[in-house]
């Protein structure tokens, strides 16, 4: 069963001047963690806002749990947990008052589970929202999104502001919720995040879905840049190794663009007189230019 289904979903802003997303066909299956990857401004947040009925489509339609997101939005949201990248709450109330207020919208809150979330993220409920740091606000947002054990989690750049330890804890919680059947739709521009927890990824660029891939296929792309510093000349034919997609001469040596596992490539390169090797990950934009033009 598809938990999320969109057909030719299109959104333009300011009349028809600014494109949000165009003809988006998407299917997210029950129980999977689906990553929605794209650079900033690609249309990820527009898609999420359409799914949450915060904005209305120009054309096309979207369904969650088989229900129209516009017509049956209230009953859909009973089973949805939404986590924005940056949460904006009434800042004059305390964390506890905030939890109590949003608890009031939900049915059957498991208080034991709620307390366990508060403890896991080491969240202090007695401060005013305005006094929380960005990270603590994000912790509050995580708790608000998860407290009613939703069947669908919609996460928009969820780890922004979280320290590495809390990121790890958050991913652990996501994996746990997956075991209990929760579906997750996660939008991110951080490839590692998608690599780490997603089952499938959808690649979106300039408002259009370019491809949907299984995470294993996506991982195989494992794109790296390798900069070799050497005083010797290496014949270009020596770089004809599986995985090297591009070779360029630099002032200090060579620049290689690599996709897939790097072990074999490194073994071959190290046969030469190399003084230094620098392996870096290109930006998402660079990856898009190379693979998803």
Partner 1 sequence: MKNIVLFQIKKQYKSVLVYLAALVGFAWMYISLFPSMQKIDIEAMMSQLPKEFLGFLGEGGGSAYNTIEGFLSVEFFSFFFVLLIGFYVSSVAGAAIAGGIERRTMDFELSQPVSRTKKLLSETFVAIIFSILIVTAANLMIKLLCVIYNIDISSKGLFYFSILASLFSMAIYGIAIFLSSIVRSKMSVVGITLFFTLGSYVFYSLSLAVEKIKDFGKFTLYYLYDPQKTLSRAELNLDHCLILLFIFILGTITALIIFNKKDV
Say if residues 151 and 181 touch (Cβ distance below 8 Å).
yes
Distance CA 275, CA 79 (A): 57
Q: Tokens representing 277?
A: 């090797």
Residue 105 touching partner 1 (CB under 8 A): yes
Considering only 87-95, 167-175, 239-247, 251-259, which stretch makes contact with partner 1 by CB under 8 A?
87-95
x-marked contacts with partner 1 along 40-59 as a string, rule CB under 8 A? ---------x--xxxxx---
**Closest distance between partner 1 and the C-beta of residue 32, in Å?**
21
Residue 146 touching partner 1 (CB under 8 A): no
Residue 151: is it exposed, middle or buried by C-beta count within 10 angstroms (0-12/13-18/19+)? buried
Residue 132 touching partner 1 (CB under 8 A): no
Q: Tokens representing 115?
A: 């307390």
Residue 72 touching partner 1 (CB under 8 A): no
Residue 88 touching partner 1 (CB under 8 A): yes
Please pick, from the candidates 35, 38, 43, 84, the single residue that binds partner 1 as defined by CB under 8 A: 84
For the range 236-245, what are the long-range contacts, defined as Cβ-Cβ under 8 Å and sequence gap of 24 or more? 238/268, 238/272, 241/265, 241/268, 245/290
Residue 77 touching partner 1 (CB under 8 A): yes
Burial 243-266, CB ≥16 within 10 A → b, else e:
bbeebeeeeebbebbbbbebeebe
Kind plus residue range of the DSSP H or E element containing 38:
none
Distance from the Cα of residue 68 to its chain's centroid: 24
Which of 71/249 has CB closer to partner 1? 71
Residue 143 touching partner 1 (CB under 8 A): no
Considering only 25-33, 69-77, 113-121, 201-209, which stretch makes contact with partner 1 by CB under 8 A?
69-77
Which of 73/230 has CB closer to partner 1? 73
CA-only gyration radius of the chain, Å: 22
x-marked contacts with partner 1 along 184-213 as a string, rule CB under 8 A? ------------------------------
3 state SS of 215: helix
**Closest distance between partner 1 and the C-beta of residue 178, in Å?**
21
Say if residues 224 and 280 touch (Cβ distance below 8 Å).
yes
Q: Tokens representing 60?
A: 């096309």
Please pick, from the candidates 15, 92, 164, 235, the single residue that binds partner 1 as defined by CB under 8 A: 92
Q: Tell me, what DSSP letter sits at residue 94?
A: B
Residue 113 touching partner 1 (CB under 8 A): no
Q: Give the footprint of partner 1 on this chain (CB under 8 A).
A: 49, 52-56, 73-75, 77-78, 80, 82, 84, 87-90, 92-93, 97, 101-102, 104-106, 141, 144
């Amino acid at each position: 069963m598809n938990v999320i289904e969109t057909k030719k979903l299109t959104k333009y802003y300011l009349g028809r001047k600014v494109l949000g997303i165009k003809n988006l066909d998407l299917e997210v299956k029950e129980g999977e963690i689906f990553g929605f990857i794209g650079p900033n401004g690609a249309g990820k947040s527009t898609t999420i806002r359409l799914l949450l009925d915060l904005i209305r489509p120009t054309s096309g339609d979207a369904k969650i749990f088989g229900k129209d997101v516009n017509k049956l939005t209230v009953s859909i949201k009973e089973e949805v947990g939404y986590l924005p990248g940056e949460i904006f709450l009434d800042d004059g109330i305390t964390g506890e008052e905030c939890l109590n207020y949003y608890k009031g919208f939900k049915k059957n809150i498991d208080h034991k589970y709620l307390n366990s979330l508060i403890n896991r993220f080491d969240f202090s409920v007695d401060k005013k929202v305005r006094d929380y740091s960005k990270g603590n606000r994000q912790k509050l947002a995580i708790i608000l999104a998860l407290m009613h054990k939703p069947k669908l989690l919609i996460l928009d750049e969820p780890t922004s502001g979280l320290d590495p330890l809390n990121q790890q804890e958050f991913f652990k919680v996501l994996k746990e919720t997956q075991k209990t059947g929760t579906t997750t739709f996660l939008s991110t521009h951080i490839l590692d995040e998608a690599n780490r927890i997603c089952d499938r990824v959808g690649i979106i660029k300039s408002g259009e879905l370019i491809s949907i891939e299984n995470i294993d296929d996506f991982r195989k792309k494992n794109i790296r840049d390798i900069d070799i510093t050497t005083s010797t000349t290496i014949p270009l034919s020596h770089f004809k190794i599986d995985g090297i997609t591009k070779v360029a001469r630099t002032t200090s040596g060579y620049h290689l663009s690599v996709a897939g596992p790097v072990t074999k490539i490194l073994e071959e390169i190290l046969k030469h007189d190399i003084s230094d090797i620098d392996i870096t990950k290109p930006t998402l934009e660079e990856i898009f230019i190379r693979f998803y033009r």
